[in-house]
Amino acid sequence: MSAATTSPSEGRPALKPPPDAAAPVRHPDAPAPGELLGAHYDQCFGCGETQPHGLHLASRAGEGVSLTAEFTVQPAHQGAPGLAHGGVLVSALDETLGALSWLLRVIAVTGRLETDFVLPVPVGTILYLSARCTAVAGRKIYSSAEGRIGGPDGPVAVRADALFVEVKVDHFTAHGRPEEIQAAMADPDQAKVARAFEVNP
């Protein structure tokens, strides 16, 4: 049987960890609780500092394999007038969930993401995100996240469950656009080169 169970009606992996999944273990070299993670790549739509219409999402390590993040909805992020586009909210959840890889010290990509939209999120709102890894089964990493409005303890506006899959760096070098791959690999700052490929969809 595969590491993820399969939904008979859809034939896709379910997001429930298998019975033999292990509890996630924070890597000893992971950022300390409270530490700001920073952008992994300056052109990343989710966390990149130089993306003019990006989310500029700032993540902070939490206890165990968890983290928090904040994202302010800008006018460029709206779908319906005055409200955040649902796809942008999914991107914020995905970015937050992906950042959990830094605490496990693995390279992982999104395999599946299921999202519930609970409340509308107006432009100008700060979305307070929290994410935690729930289980690991081989290369598969299970996690959950939620986004609240009105404060870190405010009402839940969006939530998601995700399945990430651990990969090697060649996943990105084989599939990314050559210009960006070459530019990232040629950076003289080797720490930046390594970080560019740490977390990515």
d(CA 186, CA 189) in angstroms, rounded, equals: 9
Q: What are the start-end ranges of the H helices in 13-129?
A: 86-98, 101-104
d(CA 103, CA 91) in angstroms, rounded, equals: 20
Q: What per-residue confidence (pLDDT) applies to 116?
A: 96
Q: What number is the average pLDDT over the span 144-162?
A: 97
| Res. 156: pLDDT tops 50 | yes
Residues in the chain: 201
| pLDDT tens column, 43-82 | 677 777 877 888 888 899 999 999 999 999 999 999 999 9
Write the DSSP symbol of residue 79: S
Three-state secondary-structure class, residue 191: helix
Backbone angles phi, psi at 92, to 5 degrees: -65, -40
The band of 7, judged by pLDDT with boundaries at 50, 70 and 90, is very low
Q: What per-residue confidence (pLDDT) applies to 185?
A: 56
Q: What per-residue confidence (pLDDT) applies to 5?
A: 47
- Greatest CA separation for the chain: 50
E strands along the chain, which residues? 58-61, 66-72, 108-117, 126-137, 140-148, 156-166
| Res. 183: pLDDT tops 90 | no
Q: Which residue has the higher pLDDT, 27 or 189?
A: 27
The band of 11, judged by pLDDT with boundaries at 50, 70 and 90, is low
Q: What per-residue confidence (pLDDT) applies to 201?
A: 38
Backbone angles phi, psi at 151, to 5 degrees: 135, 165
* Averaged confidence pLDDT in the chain: 83
Find the radius of gyration of the CA atoms of the chain. Answer: 17
Share of the chain above pLDDT 70, in %: 75
Q: What per-residue confidence (pLDDT) applies to 85?
A: 95
Strands 126-137 and 108-117, by their bridges, are: unpaired
The band of 169, judged by pLDDT with boundaries at 50, 70 and 90, is low
Share of the chain above pLDDT 90, in %: 60
User: What residues contact 177, with CB distance under 8 A and at least 6 apart?
Assistant: none
Q: What number is the average pLDDT over the span 11-25?
A: 83
